[in-house]
Amino acid sequence: MAGIDPQTGRVLITGATGLVGTMLRAGLRPRWRHLRLVGRRPVPDLAANEESVLAQIDDRAAMTRAMAGVDAVVHLAAAGSVVMSVEDPVANFEANVLGTFRVLDAARRAGVRRIVLASTGGALIGDAVPPVNEQSLPKPISPYGASKLAGEGYAHAFAKSYGLSTVALRFANVYGPWSERKKGAMTLFFRAIEAGEPIIIYGDGSASRDYTHVDDICHALQLGLEKDVPGGTVLHIASGVETTVKDLADLCRAAAGVPEHPIEHRDKRAGEVERNFATYDLAKKVLGYEPSISREVGIGRTWRWFQENVFTAPEP
């Protein structure tokens, strides 16, 4: 289905104050006619072509009002922690399954043409021999992974039943500026280094992930909005590079200039995938997506951002 012309289109973003949402706003702002930013709190520092709308995604009436006049939606709002989903699966279900359903249903009723949803790769596929791709059989091992699979299922059903042009992008592990808003490994490693405390690794350090810079993720989201894509499309957005937890710790230590910073191992946590990285071949074919930022460059930039924006003490 035809993509949306940014010069005339109006796009709504849920989760606009998160890591991806913050960077996506910066990327879309110069190109798109109008951005509507939905959240529980007002979004600060609005540009002339932005508006902030107070709404919770699981509130049917509020989402109905928010969708009025919108051409496209980027749905980023989610409960994103695997560990927290294991501890409280009900809250994860309500945020990710019910919330995504409400967004899709409001978009359907408002006549929205395109919706791009943030999904996940490793958590959804579960334990599988990497690299995974769109043909890999989903077998989530955490409530978080299951909730994202349910969202993809509803998106596909809405595409086929109602003609809503849905594109689900399975993100790899996202990092970059504003990463302190996540509770991911890189954030925890950087905070440990800054505090002079050991880096904590759960397990023996051989578990792996695919780390993709937020700029590459945002580029894929823009392509998902603007390219001609069949409704119900699912794509992996990744770097294609396997990085073990031990590798990540070493990269973080090198970026910080402390290659011998201590590491402490603890027991592996439940619900976490052992190995994962993904191919982006289909995304390259369908969207023209290719990652552009290497691990070494991206992690170095992220450490410097933390130093300048998180670890710098305020002046008295």
Number of residues written out for the chain: 316
CATH of residue 71: 3.40.50.720
In-domain check, residue 183: no
In-domain check, residue 270: no
Has residue 316 got a pLDDT over 50? Answer: no
190: confidence class by pLDDT, cuts 50, 70, 90: very high
Q: Which one is catalytic: 144, 175, 280, 289?
A: 144
Condensed to tens digits (0 to 9), the pLDDT of residues 192-233 reads: 999 999 999 999 999 999 999 999 999 999 999 999 999 999
Q: Is 144 an annotated catalytic residue?
A: yes
In-domain check, residue 118: yes
In-domain check, residue 138: yes
Q: Structural domain tally of the chain? A: 1
What is the reported pLDDT for 1?
Answer: 78
In-domain check, residue 5: no
Distance CA(15)–CA(12), nearest Å, equals 10
Has residue 167 got a pLDDT over 50? Answer: yes
In-domain check, residue 137: yes
CB 20 within 8 A of CB 169: no
Has residue 182 got a pLDDT over 90? Answer: no
What is the reported pLDDT for 40?
Answer: 87
CA-wise closest residue to 71 among 99, 110, 103, 102: 110
Condensed to tens digits (0 to 9), the pLDDT of residues 97-128 reads: 999 999 999 999 999 999 999 999 988 999 89
Candidate from 76-85, 148-157, 218-227 with smallest mean pLDDT: 76-85
Straight-line distance from the first to the last Cα atom of the chain, in angstroms, rounded to the nearest whole number: 55
Condensed to tens digits (0 to 9), the pLDDT of residues 250-265 reads: 999 999 999 999 999 9
pTM of the full structure: 0.94
CA-wise closest residue to 143 among 209, 80, 202, 57: 80
Distance CA(67)–CA(65), nearest Å, equals 6
Q: Which two tokens stand for residue 76?
A: 């980023």
In-domain check, residue 143: yes
What is the reported pLDDT for 114?
Answer: 98
Backbone angles phi, psi at 168, to 5 degrees: -100, 120
Condensed to tens digits (0 to 9), the pLDDT of residues 2-60 reads: 899 999 999 999 999 989 999 999 999 999 999 999 988 889 899 999 999 999 998 99
What is the reported pLDDT for 313?
Answer: 54
Distance CA(35)–CA(51), nearest Å, equals 6
Task: For helices 185-195 and 295-309, give the axis angle rounded to 10 degrees.
Answer: 50
CB atoms within 10 A of CB 81: 16
Condensed to tens digits (0 to 9), the pLDDT of residues 288-315 reads: 999 999 999 999 999 999 999 999 855 4
In-domain check, residue 188: no
What is the reported pLDDT for 174?
Answer: 95
Has residue 271 got a pLDDT over 90? Answer: no
| Boundaries of domain holding 44 | 10-174+211-240+277-292
CB 77 within 8 A of CB 151: no
What is the reported pLDDT for 144?
Answer: 95
